[in-house]
Amino acid sequence: MRTARGALYWIPRILAIGFGLFVSLFALDSFSGDASIWEKLGRFGVHLIPVAVYGVIVALAWRWEWVGAVLFAVLGGVYVATMGRHRLDWNLIIAGPLFLLSALFVVGWLRRAQAPKR
C-alpha cells in the first residue's frame, strides 16, 4: 500500500517535469534562420515564457495537488480552445498530457484525502 501511495505522489510530478522539458524543446526553433544571435536569443526567451508559467504551476501542484489538477485542466482547455479542431494531432500531443496530469493530480489528491491520519 505504501508503494502505491508513493507512486501516486511521484508519477504526476515526474511526468509534469518531463512534459515541461518536452515543451521547452520547441523553443530551440528560435535559433533557425538568418537573424542575429541577439534576435535569436530574444526569440528563445519569449518562447520560454510559457514554460516558466508552466514551471510555476508545477511548483504549486507539487504542494497543493488540487491546484495542479485545476490548472493543468485549464491549460489543456485553453490549448484546445485556441487550437480548435484544426490540429487534432497537436491537441493530442499538448493538451492530452495536460489532461492526464490533471487526472493524476486529482487521483493523488483524493487518495491522500481518504488516507487515515496518523
pLDDT in tens, 20-54: 999 899 888 888 888 889 999 998 999 899 899 99
Q: What is the predicted pLDDT for the residue at 7?
A: 80
Q: How far apart are CA 102 and CA 108, in angstroms?
A: 10
Which has more pLDDT, 118 or 22? 22
pLDDT tens by residue, 44-93: 999 899 899 999 999 999 999 999 999 999 999 998 898 877 878 888 88
Listed in sequence order, the DSSP H helices in the chain are 2-24, 37-47, 49-63, 65-83, 88-90, 96-114
The answer to whether the beta carbons of residues 105 and 72 sit under 8 Å apart is yes
**Cβ neighbour number for residue 39 with a 10 Å cutoff:** 12
**Cβ neighbour number for residue 69 with a 10 Å cutoff:** 22
Residue of 61, 50, 58, 47 lying closest to 17 (CA atoms)? 58
Rounded to two decimals, the pTM is: 0.82
The answer to whether the beta carbons of residues 8 and 111 sit under 8 Å apart is yes
- Name the pLDDT band for 106 (thresholds 50, 70, 90): very high
